[in-house]
Amino acid sequence: MRHPRLLRAGVGAGGAVAAIGLWQLAATVGPVADSPLPTAVDALGAFAALLGTPEMWIATGDTLTMALLGLAISTVAGVLLGIGIGTSPLAMHATRIPLEFLKPIPPIVILPVVVLVLGPTAGMGIVLVVIGCFVSIVVQAAAGVFDTDPVAKATGRSYGLGRTEILGRIVLPSALPYIGTAVRVAAPTSLIVAVVAGLLGGGPGLGQSLLLAQLSGNQAQLFAYVLVLGVLGLAVQGLSQWGERRLLHWHPQYRKQVV
C-alpha cells in the first residue's frame, strides 16, 4: 500500500507548490500587488534566514513547551474526570449542560484575567492551553465511558471481574477511540492557544515574535513566522495522528488504515 501514500504525498506537495505560486502572482501582478503583502519569494527568504537565528528556535521551544505541557495536563485531568463522570449516569446527565455550555467558550475570553493573575509568563500560556483543551477532552472521555457496551460489562461481571478490572479491561479500551480523537483535535488547538498567549497576552514564544515583527513593520519576517507556525502545526497534527494510530492499532478502524 505504499503507492497510494506516495500519491497522496505527491498531491499534497503539488497543492503546496500551487498555493505558493498563486501567492507569488497575487503579490507581484495580482490584485494585492501594491499592498504590504510580501511576495512568496521574500517570505521564504526571510523564513530561511529565521532558521539560522537562535531567537526563532527559543521562541519555538517556548511555544511547544506551553502547548505540549498544557495538552498533557488537560489529557490526564480530563480523562480522569471524564471516567468519573462517565461511570455514573447521574453525574453524566447532571454535567452535560454545563460542559456543553463551557465547550465553545474560547480561552481568549478570560485571557485578561489570567494575565492579571499570572503575568505575561509561560505559566499563563500553560493555563490558557489547559482551559482551551480540558473541557472537550472531558466530554469525549465521559461519552466513551458512558457508551461502553453494557453486554460487555455484564459478561465481565459474569466471569467474576471486579469493578476495577471491568474499568481497566473493558471500559477504558472501549473509551480509548473517543479519547484518542479528543486529544488529536486538541493538539492543534493547544498550539493555537499558546500562540495567542504570546500574541495578545505578552507571553514568550512565537506569538510574541509575530507581534514584534508586526510592530516593526517587517512584513516579510511576519509572514516568515506565519510559515514557521504552519510547519509546526503540520508537525503537531502529524505526530498526534501517528500516536493515535499506534495507540489504537488494535481497533478495526485503525487496523484498516495501518494495513
CA-to-CA distance for 191 and 231, rounded, in angstroms? 12
| pLDDT at res. 2 | 52
41 in a structural domain:
no
Q: Which long-range contacts (CB under 8 A, 24 or more apart) does 106-111 make?
A: 106/132, 107/131, 107/132, 107/193, 107/196, 108/196, 108/200, 111/196, 111/197, 111/200, 111/201
pTM across the whole model = 0.86
CA-to-CA distance for 241 and 176, rounded, in angstroms? 14
| pLDDT at res. 258 | 47
| pLDDT at res. 64 | 94
Q: What is the DSSP letter of 150?
A: H
Q: Are 213 and 38 in contact (CB under 8 A)?
A: no
| pLDDT at res. 259 | 44
Residue range of the domain that includes 127: 65-258
167 in a structural domain:
yes
13 in a structural domain:
no
CA-to-CA distance for 39 and 177, rounded, in angstroms? 43
Report how many domains make up the chain. Answer: 1
Grid-cell match 456543553, residue found: 100
| pLDDT at res. 254 | 64
HSE value, Cβ hemisphere, 13 Å, CA-based, for 38: 20
164 in a structural domain:
yes
15 in a structural domain:
no
20 in a structural domain:
no
CATH code, 100: 1.10.3720.10
121 in a structural domain:
yes
37 in a structural domain:
no
pLDDT tens per residue across all 259 residues of the chain? 456 777 777 777 788 888 888 888 887 887 777 778 888 888 899 999 999 999 999 999 999 999 999 999 999 999 999 999 998 889 988 998 998 888 888 888 888 899 889 888 999 999 999 999 999 999 999 999 998 888 888 888 888 888 888 888 888 888 888 998 899 999 999 999 999 998 888 889 999 999 999 898 888 999 999 999 999 998 988 888 888 788 777 766 665 554 4
Alpha helices (H) along 200-218: 206-215
